[in-house]
Amino acid sequence: MSVLLKIADAVVTRLNSGSFELPFTAQRRYQPAFELAELATLRVSVIPRSIEISGASRSDSSFDFAVDVGVQQKVNADDPDQLDRLMRLVEQLADHLRHQRLPDVTEAAWVSIANEPAFATEHLDQQRVFTSVLTVTYRMRR
């Protein structure tokens, strides 16, 4: 199995072992494509995103592996409490992954988390779906 997929699977395991305000079961996916009816249930998807390789020394390289953690749910866009809970969940997920080693891939060190934009306004406007994506990056040297 590729290292990127191992990292994505380890992120799923880490998220599913946590305790969060809203219940969910994270899944590794290649595309977070759901029918609107399926989004009545909160969906947390972990998607392998990218690998960036740079020189670390004459014989070693630094590998940055990025995965996206997507949070999606159909919402009542006029209910700020529902949107606030989902925004808090995204922050809780980031806190749960920040500065942590992953199970089964302990040689991968956490580097960063990005959440830009904080949520997709066009999904909220057009489909009444809350969508937020965290990009989490881990580094290995080999």
How many domains is the chain built from? 1
* Res 140 pLDDT > 80: yes
Q: How many CA atoms lie within 13 A of 66 on its CB side?
A: 14
* Res 1 pLDDT > 90: no
User: Whole-model pTM?
Assistant: 0.93
Cβ pair 72, 64 in contact under 8 A:
no
Q: What is the CATH number of the domain that holds 109?
A: 3.30.2000.10
Other beta carbons less than 10 A from residue 3's beta carbon: 17
pLDDT digits (tens, 9 = 90+) for 55-105: 877 878 899 999 999 999 999 988 999 999 999 999 999 999 999 989 889
Domain enclosing residue 115, as ranges: 3-141
Write down the pLDDT at residue 2.
Answer: 93
Cα–Cα distance for residue pair 126/2, rounded to 1 Å: 37
Cα–Cα distance for residue pair 134/90, rounded to 1 Å: 8
